[in-house]
Amino acid sequence: MGNYHLSHLDQLEAEAIFILRETAAQFENPGLLFSAGKDSIVMAHIARKAFYPARIPFPLVHVDTGHNFPETIEFRDKYAEQIGARLHIGLVQDSIDRGTAVEETGANASRNKLQTVTLLETIEEQEYDAVLGGGRRDEEKARAKERFFSHRNDFGEWDPKNQRPELWNLFNGRKQPGEHFRVFPLSNFTEMDVWMYMHREGIELPSLYYAHERDTVTRNGVILAVSEFVQPRDGEVVERKKIRFRTMGDATITGAVESNADTMEKIIEEVAAARQTERGNRADDKRSETAMEDRKKEGYF
Amino acid sequence: MDLLRFTTAGSVDDGKSTLIGRLLYDSKSIFEDQLEAIEESSRKKGDENVNLALLTDGLKAEREQGITIDVAYRYFATPKRKFIIADTPGHIQYTRNMVTGASTANLAIILVDARKGVIEQTKRHSFIANLLRIQHVVLAVNKMDLVDYSQEVYDEIVTEYRAFASRLGNIVNIMPVPISALEGDNVVDKSTQMDWYEGSSLLYHLENVHVGGEENHVQARFPVQWVIRPQSNEFHDFRGFAGRIAGGVFKPGDEVVILPSGFTTSIKKIYQDETELEEAFAPQSVCMTLEDEIDLSRGDMLVKKNNPPEQGQDIEAMICWFSSSPLQARAKLVLRHTSKEVKALVSEIQYKIDIETLRKIEDDRSFSLNEIGRVKLRVGSPLFYDNYRKNRHTGSFVLIDPGTNETVAAGMIG
């Protein structure tokens, strides 16, 4: 008998493909959240594999804060076109204009929290009964408790204390009308796995992930790129630094790290040596100890 | 790199969280900002030492109450292996979480406090590991520092545990190791305090134990999950059957039988995206095309003629009940097995098991939360199944309450 053995990346990929196909089979109208961040790119890449030679049987969905780096938006549009997927964009600005979301004020205002409103409105308006997300359990302590198939009530809320047990490869996506599921095919990937997988698969990423020179300001210990959304405040010094981003979020809150890693190999070395989690420089998680759990309960990604 | 999934079980205060914290910390999987965050919250709560349990207890309610409510998944890697830990709470009321964590694990670490020895909870955890067919158990005798690293104490515990475990048939390999999670003895490095111990450290064992034996590579099983029909000009007539191989090995040209129709055809090609495979085996996710045009859809299964699965509408199984409303005989439920969903009727509750004593309870025929026992089920259309001992994928199912849509039980056929 041969050596029937799969490497850890092959096992993770097989699991993610299984989850993606299960989502297509159990739901009528799923959407795949696509922010052009690395996790959503990996998820879309695996989705292409899962349904090859057919196209991905769901649209890409982007909740756009309007505060994205232009590189992100460019990449998003190009990618959707390349794989022949429909792209649905939910604009936070539309929610603000409708009055359902209210722009935060004050020094650390961000549109991060408003994304929840727009996401839930998009889900309702497009009648998505499942939304695929690139969330991973290693990212954050509340996410470590997340299921592959995560139930949301008709207000889009998550009840972490009362989750359905998930055993073996059996996923229960049954629900009442108005309820929906969040599905996380990459649950068992770690940040390192994602990088190793992207390297193996030769996945293309937005240039922001690689080290490049940029004007920055340092605010509350977080390095922010100067852009139309982030302008230096009184007393802040603009510094030219060689930086890269470890996660891709709203430009107002996504911190950069100083880095010389301009290739995937170098990034992998850097990730291996990193002493901070990738969300460690996300101002949104720093608001309180349970910031992520609180946002997730309300319906955040 | 290899992957090992393991579960940890232990009762309150026997140092499970400290052990996990130690493994994560010593393998450099805890980041500075995580450590800062838990140092900060330990300070706020007035704890004397940094409470490593806060790393695994992620929910607000868990941190407030200082208990683990739900299964948490943790990750770490060494140059040899990647590890996924299903960290499950030990209290009796959370049996369902232990069962959940164990269902995907290759190995279980069972923690014992050296001062207390083998207690009822140790037996319960072992019973569940055995029930879920975890073949490898590490008996971690913790807090050896508090018994002066005594070989006598350790030997006594190991002997008692082996005597108990010999009654559990599925555990193939028991590896006992004396440790101190707090001091780090025999966790990552061999301890200098216990020269009498000749075995390896816990991590060395986790890195080197042979796993993979739990996949069945003999009896071919391919449950169809999804039919791929591109409807494009390039792939005009393409009909591919997508799914995850649940057992055996499939090759192009192999003759296969389709269940339930019984038609025979052969495999034309096996795809893993664009790549054509020469063979495919569990647990790969693939897409197969067939030589003949045969009606085939989700819930059907491809198998081989010489070793078909069992088929039928009457199933006997061990179940663990997860719901706070008790199971009654004649209850009508939904059963999910491989890619199939059918109606199910609990035709008979045969017995329950007292997992403290392993005795059968035959005079109480209703199942309450966290109880385990044996039932007979009648299902709406035939299942193609194997004994859970032979195949975890085709021998397992969950029961769903069609009223609430909650998953109310896990079942193991046979």
The predicted-structure confidence for B11-61, as pLDDT tens digits, reads as follows 766 778 788 888 887 777 776 667 777 777 777 766 666 666 666 655 666
Q: What pLDDT, on the 0 to 100 scale, is given for residue B69?
A: 62
Q: Which residues of A touch B32 (CB under 8 A)?
A: 275-276, 280
Q: Do A280 and B33 touch (CB under 8 A)?
A: yes
Same domain flag for B83 and B198: yes
3-state DSSP assignment of residue A243: strand
pTM equals 0.91
Residues 6+ apart with CB under 8 A from B227: B239, B240, B241, B242, B296, B297, B298
Same domain flag for B274 and B347: no
- List pLDDT tens digits, range B187-223: 988 999 999 999 999 999 999 998 766 788 899 999 9
Residue A301 has pLDDT above 70, yes or no: no
* pLDDT band with cut points at 50, 70 and 90 for residue B329: confident
Q: Which residues of B374-389 are buried (b: 16+ CB within 10 A; e: fewer)?
A: bbebebeebbbbbebe
Same domain flag for B269 and B286: yes
Flag the least confident range among A152-161, B246-255, B334-343: A152-161
Q: Is A18 on the interface with B (CB under 8 A)?
A: yes
Q: How many CB pairs under 8 A join A and B?
A: 175
Chain B contact probe: residue of A3, A4, A297 with most B CBs at under 10 A: A4
**What residue numbers bound the domain in which B90 lies?**
2-208
Same domain flag for B103 and B39: yes
Q: Which residues of B touch A53 (CB under 8 A)?
A: 228, 230, 232, 234-235, 238, 240, 274
- Considering the domain boundaries, does residue B116 fall inside one? yes
Q: Which residues of B touch A247 (CB under 8 A)?
A: none
First to last CA, chain A: 45
CATH number at residue B10: 3.40.50.300
The rounded percent of chain B whose pLDDT value lies above 70 is: 91
Among B250, B277, B303, the domain-final residue is B303
Same domain flag for B10 and B27: yes
Same domain flag for B26 and B141: yes
Q: What pLDDT, on the 0 to 100 scale, is given for residue B59?
A: 60
Same domain flag for B371 and B240: no
Q: What pLDDT, on the 0 to 100 scale, is given for residue A1?
A: 45
- Considering the domain boundaries, does residue B215 fall inside one? no
Residue B387 has pLDDT above 50, yes or no: yes
Among B208, B243, B273, the domain-final residue is B208
CA distances from A228 to A217, A220, B8, B176, B266 (A): 13, 19, 50, 61, 61
- List pLDDT tens digits, range B304-319: 999 999 999 999 999 9
As a dihedral over the C-alpha atoms of residue A20, residue A21, residue A26, residue A30, rounded to 10 degrees, the angle is 50
- Considering the domain boundaries, does residue B213 fall inside one? no
Other Cβ atoms closer than 10 A to B28:
14
CATH number at residue B365: 2.40.30.10
Domain ranges of chain A: 8-194+289-298, 206-281
- List pLDDT tens digits, range A234-287: 888 899 999 998 887 777 778 888 899 999 999 888 887 766 666 555 555 555
Separation of alpha carbons B397 and B108, rounded Å? 21
Q: Which residues of A touch B244 (CB under 8 A)?
A: 14, 17-18, 169
Q: Is B236 on the interface with A (CB under 8 A)?
A: no
Same domain flag for B177 and B204: yes
Separation of alpha carbons A65 and A253, rounded Å? 12
- List pLDDT tens digits, range B134-191: 989 999 999 999 999 999 999 999 999 999 998 887 787 899 999 998 888 999 889 9
Q: Is B69 on the interface with A (CB under 8 A)?
A: yes
Q: Is B235 on the interface with A (CB under 8 A)?
A: yes
- Considering the domain boundaries, does residue B63 fall inside one? yes
- Considering the domain boundaries, does residue B327 fall inside one? yes
Same domain flag for B107 and B186: yes
- Considering the domain boundaries, does residue B64 fall inside one? yes
- Considering the domain boundaries, does residue B219 fall inside one? no
Tell me the sheet residues that pair with A90: A63
Domain count, chain B: 3
Any idea what DSSP says for residue A56? P
Q: Is B253 on the interface with A (CB under 8 A)?
A: no
- List pLDDT tens digits, range A79-132: 999 999 999 998 888 888 888 888 887 766 777 778 888 888 888 899 999 999
The CATH H-level superfamily of A8-194+289-298 is: HUPs (3.40.50.620)
Same domain flag for B129 and B60: yes
Same domain flag for B31 and B135: yes
3-state DSSP assignment of residue A63: strand
Among B303, B320, B339, the domain-final residue is B303
Same domain flag for B157 and B269: no
Separation of alpha carbons A71 and B316, rounded Å? 58
